[in-house]
């Protein structure tokens, strides 16, 4: 874990501190960061404001991480910004200043800020990469800070308890800023958030949505709370009307759809179609919530076949235990493009101990083919989950095999990319 933000601050200073050219909503939390950020971006865009969004990780293309006016940046724009950031990095190396230790994520974050400045962005929804206190994004001065939720993740970096992790994530809160969260003071992590806010003289606003509510409803409540705070700050849209939760209409929700977040496809196989859901959930509480929400759709109420790859630092036993409640069979595969994945053999042993039928297919593309076959045979649906790296490796193939919702005659809400995913 890095010991300070000096490399990022030095890098930004060499670039003229582009992060000071726009106002910021800073979003942290275990899950939901991406979806909440996308909703904020879409709503402010509906108000006619110039808006940017920075998030991570990407699913298929690195350009997904940086959005302006609801559109991913193009490769030439990102390349220009990266070259500027690299020039600053090389200058720091020559001078021996802190930016000589800048990471790849520092460079990408600085590039996003450069792009926002060039695009004359007025507001940006900035998603934390990891933790918060020492994250590269934490050189911004967020007027509103969001901590969506706190669960055990990256414990070797952020801490072994929810309270410790909360201390890292609430590190994005700045003096006098407003903190928005789902966590109350009856929760150990929520008490850490409140204590930090008290120390900084910051107000805390909590959503009134039950923790068992659908993920999309929780995400919408958080985004609505942000817009409510911006209204209190007398932020207005291009027409002069105050911004507010009313901006989260169906058009904004549609614009906020992200790949790999409860994303649904209908894949043709033989003479039939297999419903496929792709979600990057990677912690137990989140996959449990995803499965609970998906069960509300009649076409997804039956047991599923799952394709799973999980990083080595995740709670694999807890994750597989949640899957065992809804999956009939799980195919364990290698984590594509990474050496940090749990071995499929280890995951199968966990499934065996839980009485869950499973197979090993190290190659992700072969696992997809096998999963579709099993789902078709069982008249089941297919879930691809455990990592956005896995989603990124398979999403293109699934998309090519799936007709558009119009071609499929899909019912409302059953689409290739629904709103309000888990990421």
H or E stretch covering 290: helix 284-294
Cα four-point dihedral sign 353, 357, 360, 363: negative
Residues 237 and 273 in one domain: no
Mean pLDDT of the 353-360 span: 98
Beta bridge partners of 49: none
pLDDT classification of 146: cutoffs 50, 70, 90 = very high
pLDDT of residue 414: 35
Q: What is the pTM of this model?
A: 0.90
Q: How confident is the model at residue 354 (pLDDT cuts 50, 70, 90)?
A: very high
The answer as to whether 381 is a domain residue is yes
Domain end point (choices 255, 286, 306): 255
**CATH number for the domain that contains residue 334:** 3.90.190.20
Whether residues 331 and 200 fall in one domain: no
Mind listing the pLDDT tens digit for each residue in 50-95?
A: 999 999 999 999 999 999 999 999 999 999 999 999 999 999 999 9
281 and 351, same structural domain?
A: yes
Rounding to the nearest 10 degrees, give the CA dihedral for residues 221, 108, 142, 250: -30
**210 and 283 share one domain:** no
For 86, the domain range is: 6-255
The answer to which of 35-39, 155-159, 176-180, 417-421 has the lowest mean pLDDT is: 417-421
Does residue 276 lie within any of the structural domains?
yes
User: What pLDDT sits at residue 419?
Assistant: 37
- Whether residues 72 and 12 share a domain: the answer is yes
Predicted local confidence at residue 340, as pLDDT: 86
* Domain annotation covers residue 415: no
- Same domain flag for 46 and 180: yes
The pLDDT assigned to 182 comes to 96
Residues 155 and 38 in one domain: yes
Of the residues 255, 274, 308, the one at which a domain ends = 255
How many structural domains compose the chain? 2
Residue with the bigger pLDDT between 46 and 1: it is 46
CA–CA dist 210, 17 (Å, integer): 40
Using pLDDT thresholds of 50, 70 and 90, give the confidence band for residue 411: very low
Instruction: Calculate the average pLDDT of the chain.
Output: 93
Residues 159, 99: one domain? yes
* Averaged pLDDT for residues 308-324: 95
3-state secondary structure of 266: strand
CATH number at residue 101: 3.40.1190.10
With a cut of 50, say whether residue 406 has pLDDT above it: no
Specify the pLDDT at position 277: 97
Last residue in a domain, options 210, 233, 255: 255
pLDDT band at 420 (very low <50, low <70, confident <90, very high): very low
CA distance 90 to 111: 15
Q: Are residues 371 and 293 in the same domain?
A: yes
Same domain, 285 and 375: yes
Percentage with pLDDT > 90 across the chain: 85
Question: For residue range 231-257, what is the model confidence (pLDDT) as tens digits?
Answer: 999 999 999 999 999 999 999 999 999
Structure-token match 């799973």, residue found? 308
Q: State what percent of residues in the chain have pLDDT above 70.
A: 94
């Amino acid at each position: 874990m890095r010991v300070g933000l000096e490399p990022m601050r030095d890098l930004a200073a060499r670039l003229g501190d582009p992060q000071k050219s726009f106002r910021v909503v800073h979003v942290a939390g275990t899950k939901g960061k991406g979806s909440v950020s996308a909703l904020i971006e879409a709503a402010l865009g509906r108000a006619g404001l110039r808006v940017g969004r920075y998030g991570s990780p990407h699913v298929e293309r690195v350009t997904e991480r940086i959005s302006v006016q609801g559109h991913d940046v193009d490769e030439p724009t990102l390349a220009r910004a990266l070259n500027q950031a690299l020039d600053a990095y090389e200058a720091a190396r020559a001078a021996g200043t802190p930016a000589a230790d800048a990471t790849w994520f520092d460079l990408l974050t600085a590039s996003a800020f450069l792009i926002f400045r060039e695009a004359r962005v007025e507001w940006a929804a900035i998603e934390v990469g990891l933790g918060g206190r020492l994250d590269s994004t934490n050189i911004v001065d967020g007027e509103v800070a969001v901590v969506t939720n706190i669960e055990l993740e990256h414990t070797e970096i952020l801490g072994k308890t929810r309270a410790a992790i909360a201390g890292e994530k609430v590190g994005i809160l700045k003096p006098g800023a407003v903190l928005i969260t789902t966590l109350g003071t009856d929760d150990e992590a929520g008490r850490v958030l409140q204590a930090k806010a008290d120390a900084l003289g910051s107000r805390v606003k909590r959503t009134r949505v039950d923790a068992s509510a659908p993920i999309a409803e929780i995400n919408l409540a958080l985004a609505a709370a942000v817009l409510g705070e911006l209204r209190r700050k007398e932020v207005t849209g291009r027409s002069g009307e105050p911004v507010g939760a009313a901006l989260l209409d169906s058009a904004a929700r549609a614009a906020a759809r992200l790949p790999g977040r409860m994303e649904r496809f209908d894949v043709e196989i033989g003479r039939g179609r297999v419903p496929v859901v792709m979600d990057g959930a990677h912690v137990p509480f989140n996959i449990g919530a995803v499965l609970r929400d998906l069960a509300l759709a009649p076409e997804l109420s039956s047991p599923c076949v799952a394709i799973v790859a999980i990083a080595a630092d995740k709670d694999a036993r807890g994750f597989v235990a949640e899957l065992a409640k809804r999956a009939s069979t799980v195919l364990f595969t290698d984590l594509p493009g990474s050496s940090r994945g749990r071995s499929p053999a280890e995951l199968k042993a966990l499934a065996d101990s839980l009485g869950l039928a499973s197979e090993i297919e190290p190659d992700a593309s072969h696992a997809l083919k096998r999963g579709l076959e099993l789902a078709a045979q069982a008249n089941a649906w297919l879930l691809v989950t455990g990592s956005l790296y896995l989603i990124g490796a398979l999403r293109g193939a699934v998309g090519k095999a799936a007709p558009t919702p119009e071609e499929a005659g899909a019912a409302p809400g059953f689409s290739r990319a629904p709103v309000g995913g888990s990421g």
